[in-house]
Structure 1
Amino acid sequence: MEAGQYGQWLGTTEEHDSKSVIDALSELASDRCKLVVVDHYGLSSTWEASLNSTVGIPILALDDLDRRHESAFVLDVTFGKTAANYEGQLTEGTRALVGPSYALLRPDFALLRSPALQGRDARLSHGTVNHVLVSMGGADETNATLWVTDALATLLENRSFKIHVLLGAAYPHRASLDTLQATLGNRLEIHSDVAEMAALLADMDLAIGAAGSSSWERCCLGLPTINLVLAENQVTVARLLASGGAAIDGGRFPTSEAPDMWAKRIIAPVLASSTLIALSGTARDLVDGRGAGRVIAEAFSGLVRTSLLVLRGVTMDDAALLFEWQCDGRTRRYALNPAPPTWSEHLKWLQRKLNDPYCSFYIAEVAGIASGTVRLDRSASPPPPTATEHEWREVSILTAPEFYGCGVGLRMIRALMALHPEEDLVARVLADNQSSQRLFAKAGFSHYAPELLFWPQQTNRGIS
C-alpha cells in the first residue's frame, strides 16, 4: 500500500513534499541532522526513496498500515503485532520496531512508573475506588465525555468515588459539562490543559477513555481502563487490549444505549477489586515507559559510539530516574542485593550517598540523553595484594536498560578514569555476571579474586 487513499491528506504531492524537505536539509550543516522522522499516512516508500537517494540521512518511519518502506527503521507500536507483519515489505537492513514496548511516552511516565505502581497496588489491595478519570481525547466532537460522566453519575448514590474529567483545549461542549458540575458539586472535578499528565493518571483508580494513543500512557502506570471506540483507527487497539485482558471493551460511541444502563452493564462489574487488580497487572506488562529510549538506542546506536559521553553530578532531582533504573528486573539480576528498594528506601539511600564525602556519583549522558550511572565509594572489599597505603575506592556502574549493548558501560568507566586519574580502583562483580566481568577486563581491570578486579592509579595517570 502506497500513499493511496491517504494521499489527499498531504495537501500536495509526495514529490513536492520530499523536495521541500531535501531543500530544508541542505541548508543545515552536514552534521546537524542525524535522523529524519516521518509520521504521515500520505507519505510512502516513494517519499522515503527520494530522500535516500539525495541526502542519505537515516529515516525513521512511524506507521501502522503494514505497508512497504524504504526507511532505516519502521516504528509500529500496535499491540499484538510483530516484525512478521512487515515481512516482505521492507528493504534489506530495515529494522522493524514493532509492539507497545516501543510506545513513545513523555519521560515523566517512566520516571513516575515505579512509585505509581507501588501506590496503586497499595490502594487496590484495599478494594476501594476513590478516583475515576474520564478521558476522551482532545476534541471529542460527539461529546462522549458528557455521556460517560452522566453514566458515572448514576452510580454515585451508592458509591463514594469522585469523577475527574480531562479536557483538551479543543473540547467544544464545556457549557454542558459545567451544568452537570453545578449539580454534582465536589463529586466532579474538571482538569483542563494538564501539563503533568503522568501525575494525574497515577492518582486515578479507574479510567474510562478513548482507545487511542493515550491507552499506552494508562498501561504504563497500570491504570485499569474501560475503553470506548470513538474512531475507526481505534477499533484494533480496543479489541486487542480487551482480548488480552489489559482493558475492558466499553463498545463504540455514539450509541443508542442509555447512560444508566451502560453504567450497570459495563462500569459496575469492573469496580470489583479482583477485576481492577487483574486489569492493572496485565496492562503494566505491556508498556514500561521506556519505549522512547529503546527507539533512541536503536536509531542512534552509531551515534552512541561516536558522540561525546559526559558525566554530570547526580542530584536529588535524579531520584525518580535512578529508581526506575534500579527497579528494572535486568538491573536487579546481578545486583549484590537482588531485592528492589522501596521508594522511601531509595530516597534515603540517595540522600546518604549525596551527603557522603567519599562518594563520587555521576549520570552519564550521550547526546544529552541520560544513559547510565557510575559511582565511586569507599571500598569495603579486601584490597589487592599490590595495594598501596592510600585508600582504594570501589566502582559501581549501571547502564540504562534501553542502552544495553551500545557500549555505554565501557565508555562510562573510561570517562570515570579521566575524571579520577589519581585513584586506585576496585570493582566487585558477581562471578556469573559474565558480561560485566568482560566489560571491566576490557577497560583494563585485572582479577585478584573470583569476584574482585582492580585498576591501580599508576595505570590511570595520563588518560584523557
Structure 2
Amino acid sequence: MKVVFRVDASYAIASGHVTRCLTLAAALRRRGAECVFISRQVSGNLLARVVAAGFEQRVLPGQHELLAVSETSEESRKSLIDDAMNTIKALGGERPGWMVVDHYAIDSEWERLLQPHIDEILVIDDLANRAHQCDVLLDQNFSLLGEQRYADLVRHDTRLLCGPRYALLQPEFARYRATLDRQRSSALRAFVSFGGSDLDNLTGLTIEAFLAPDLADIALDVAIGRNNPHRDALEQLIARRPGARAHVAPESLAPLMARADFAVGAGGTTTWERFCLDLPSVVIALAQNQVQTGESLDATSRIEYAGYWSDLTASDLSTAAIRVVTGLKRDEVSSPEPLVDGLGADRVAEVMTPTQSSALVMRPATLADIDSYYWWVNDAEVRRQSLSTAPVSWVEHEHWFASKMAADDTLMLVLEANDLPIGQVRFDVAEGGAVLDYSLDTIVRGRGLGETLVRKGLEQLSQSTSIAVSATVRTGNGASAATLTAAGFQLAHPDGDAEAKEDLYRFEPALVDQ
C-alpha cells in the first residue's frame, strides 16, 4: 500500500509537522507500506532529512510558503487551489491508499479536490479552527473538550483519534519508558529544548533564567536545533554557565530526557515526549495553538504552564522553575495517571493498515501493561456498558492491577497486533469455574475481533485447566452477547427475569469437545 504525506517545514512553520509525519511513516513502513512525501522547497525545509530517512521526496513548484486561507482573500484561496492541483500532478497518476495531510493552511476545499485521487485521507490537526473533508482526523493534544472540539468541523462518519494516546513519538521513547527509573538524587538536572529553529531564542531566555541564585546548582542539558539561528551565541552562553552543556542537533532527545529530573521547553510534540518519560516540566507556548493545551494541562496539575512566550521574562521562568525544583526537593511532584506510552504511531498505523486476525498474538500480561489496562477500563463505551459507570481512578487501578498480577487464581492475557496491545482477556478462577472479562481497544472495534479475542483466551485457559467459564453481560449489550455466542457461550437462563440488569452466559468445554 502507498501512503502519501503532504507536509511542509520552514523557519516559520518549524520542524514539528515533518518530524511527526516521519515518525508515522516509519511505523507504516514497518508494516510494509510505501511512503512518499510531497512538500514545498521553502527556506528552512527538511527535504534532505526526509530523503536521509529513506523516503521518496517529491517537490512542489514555487518557493513561497502556503499560508492559512482567509475567506476574504482571493489570492490565498487561489494559492490553496493551485497547491491542490500541483499535489495531484505530483501523484503522477497513481492512486495511493492514503493521503496524510499535516498542514495548518489546508482545509476541506483542498481535501475535497484530492478525494477523487485518493482512497482515504487522514488529517493531522490541533487547531480545530476549520472544516475538514477526511476519513480520519488525528489530534494528539490534550483538551478537556476532547472530540467535541471537532463536532461541527468534520463529517459525521469521520473517525476521530483524539488525545495524547495517539501522540506520534519516535520508538525510542517507548523503549526508554519501559526501563525508566525515576530515582532522583539531591543534585538535580534540567533539560532545555525549544525545537528545531527557536527563532525567538527562548533557549537563551531560559539559560538566563537559570542564572538565578536558587537555580545555580542545577545541571543543564541544552538541546540546540539544527535550524537555530542563535547557535553560536547560545554555545558561548552555555560555556559560561557552570554545569551546562550544549547538545547540537542530537539524534534523539530521549536519552537527555531520561536522565533529567525536570524540563523547560515548548508546547507541541515535545510535551508528549516529556510525558512519556514522566518528566515534570515548565512549558511555554510558542504559538497560539499551544495555549489551550498548556492551560488544560496546568488546570489538571500535569505541568507548570509559564504562559505565552512573548509575555515572559527570565524572571518569570526562574519563578516557574523554582516552583518545580521546590516540589521535587520536597518529593511533592507525583506522577498523575498516564497520558502517553509512546505507542501512538503504532495505534494510528493499525487504523490505517489493520493487522489480519490470523496474525494476532496472545501473550501473558506483564506489569508494563498497566497503562493499557487503565485506558481500556476507562474507555467511554466500557464504562457505559458496566454496571458501575463511574471512571476508575489511577490509584484504584494501580492497587487492582498489582493484586491481579500477583494472584495465583487469575489468568491475564493481552492480544497484540504487530507488538501493539489491542485487547485483554481475564479469567478469575474459583471453585467450580472461571469468570471471564474482556475488552478491545477502541482502534480495533468494528472489525469482528471480539470472537477472536475470547477464543484465543479460552485456548490459553484450556492448556492449564478444563473448567466451565461464565460471563455477565449488561442487558441490551447486543455486541457482547453476539461475541460470546459466536465463541461458544450459551445464555444460562433464556427465560430469566425481564427486569434483570445483566445476563449470564456460560461456556462448557465438555460440550465444545463433543
Provide TM-score, normalisation by structure 2.
0.61
Residue 135 of structure 2 is aligned to residue 72 of structure 1? yes
CA separation of 1:249 and 1:430: change in aligned 2, threshold 3 A = same
Tell me which residue corresponds to 1:51. 114
Tell me which residue corresponds to 1:269. 323
Residue 199 of structure 2 is aligned to residue 141 of structure 1? yes
2:190 corresponds, among 119, 132, 147, to: 132
Task: Give the letter aligned to residue 207 of structure 1.
Answer: A
CA separation of 1:425 and 1:84: change in aligned 2, threshold 3 A = same
Tell me which residue corresponds to 1:30. none
Residue 512 of structure 2 is aligned to residue 459 of structure 1? yes
| Larger displacement relative to structure 2 (217-226 or 38-47) | 217-226
State the alpha-carbon separation in 1 of the partners of residues 104 and 228 from structure 2.
25
SS of residue in 2 equivalent to 1:13: helix
1:20 corresponds, among 59, 77, 90, to: 90
State the alpha-carbon separation in 2 of the partners of residues 429 and 277 from structure 1.
45
SS of residue in 2 equivalent to 1:89: coil
What per-residue deviation string (whole Å, max 9, x for no partner) do you get for residues 180-237 of structure 1? 454445x224445555645543443321101233223334444332223434544444
SS of residue in 1 equivalent to 2:222: strand
CA separation of 1:342 and 1:180: change in aligned 2, threshold 3 A = farther
State the alpha-carbon separation in 1 of the partners of residues 249 and 467 from structure 2.
51
* Structure showing the higher helix proportion among its residues: 1
CA separation of 1:314 and 1:82: change in aligned 2, threshold 3 A = closer
State the alpha-carbon separation in 1 of the partners of residues 319 and 201 from structure 2.
20
Tell me which residue corresponds to 2:59. none
State the alpha-carbon separation in 1 of the partners of residues 93 and 346 from structure 2.
30
CA separation of 1:417 and 1:50: change in aligned 2, threshold 3 A = farther
1:410 corresponds, among 451, 460, 464, to: 451
SS of residue in 2 equivalent to 1:214: helix
State the alpha-carbon separation in 2 of the partners of residues 430 and 197 from structure 1.
46
* Cα drift, residue 274 of structure 1: 7.9
SS of residue in 1 equivalent to 2:91: helix
Tell me which residue corresponds to 1:388. none
State the alpha-carbon separation in 2 of the partners of residues 15 and 147 from structure 1.
43
Tell me which residue corresponds to 1:60. 122
CA contact 1:219–1:287 (8 Å) conserved in 2: yes
CA contact 2:190–2:218 (8 Å) conserved in 1: yes
State the alpha-carbon separation in 1 of the partners of residues 376 and 424 from structure 2.
17
* Cα drift, residue 444 of structure 1: 0.4
CA contact 2:472–2:505 (8 Å) conserved in 1: no
* Cα drift, residue 38 of structure 1: 1.3
State the alpha-carbon separation in 2 of the partners of residues 188 and 286 from structure 1.
30
What per-residue deviation string (whole Å, max 9, x for no partner) do you get for residues 215-271 of structure 1? 2333444433222343454444445544554433434546894x4x44544332343
* Cα drift, residue 114 of structure 1: 8.0
1:20-419 matches, within 5 Å, as: 20-21=90-91, 23-25=93-95, 33=97, 35-55=98-118, 57-63=119-125, 64-78=127-141, 79-100=143-164, 102-106=166-170, 109=173, 120=182, 123=184, 130-155=188-213, 160-184=217-241, 187-194=243-250, 197-198=253-254, 200-242=256-298, 245-253=301-309, 257=313, 259=314, 261-262=315-316, 264-273=318-327, 291-292=344-345, 295=348, 299=351, 307-312=356-361, 322-326=369-373, 328=375, 330=377, 340=398, 364-366=415-417, 369-372=420-423, 381-382=430-431, 399-400=440-441, 403=444, 407-414=448-455
Which one has more relative contact order, counting CA pairs under 8 Å at least 6 apart? 1
Tell me which residue corresponds to 1:390. none
* Cα drift, residue 68 of structure 1: 1.8
| Larger displacement relative to structure 2 (360-369 or 82-91) | 360-369
SS of residue in 2 equivalent to 1:218: helix
CA separation of 1:394 and 1:207: change in aligned 2, threshold 3 A = same
State the alpha-carbon separation in 1 of the partners of residues 367 and 139 from structure 2.
28
What per-residue deviation string (whole Å, max 9, x for no partner) do you get for residues 374-402 of structure 1? 699xx965467xxxxxxxx9998674575
State the alpha-carbon separation in 2 of the partners of residues 250 and 83 from structure 1.
26
Task: Give the letter aligned to residue 134 of structure 1.
Answer: V
CA contact 2:128–2:150 (8 Å) conserved in 1: no
CA separation of 1:199 and 1:363: change in aligned 2, threshold 3 A = farther
What per-residue deviation string (whole Å, max 9, x for no partner) do you get for residues 110-166 of structure 1? 6666875xx55x75xx9x67121111111223432233123214336x764321222
Task: Give the letter aligned to residue 247 of structure 1.
Answer: I
Provide TM-score, normalisation by structure 1.
0.66
SS of residue in 2 equivalent to 1:24: coil
Identity of aligned residues (%): 24
State the alpha-carbon separation in 1 of the partners of residues 94 and 329 from structure 2.
52
CA separation of 1:224 and 1:276: change in aligned 2, threshold 3 A = farther
Unaligned runs of 5+ in 2: 1-66, 387-391, 494-502
SS of residue in 2 equivalent to 1:43: coil
CA RMSD of aligned residues (A): 5.3
CA contact 1:326–1:340 (8 Å) conserved in 2: no
CA separation of 1:202 and 1:410: change in aligned 2, threshold 3 A = farther
State the alpha-carbon separation in 2 of the partners of residues 329 and 312 from structure 1.
18
CA contact 2:484–2:505 (8 Å) conserved in 1: no
Tell me which residue corresponds to 1:389. none
Unaligned runs of 5+ in 1: 27-32, 353-358, 385-392
State the alpha-carbon separation in 1 of the partners of residues 187 and 81 from structure 2.
47
Q: Work out the number of aligned pairs and report it.
A: 417
State the alpha-carbon separation in 2 of the partners of residues 207 and 452 from structure 1.
52
State the alpha-carbon separation in 2 of the partners of residues 36 and 321 from structure 1.
34
CA contact 2:285–2:294 (8 Å) conserved in 1: yes
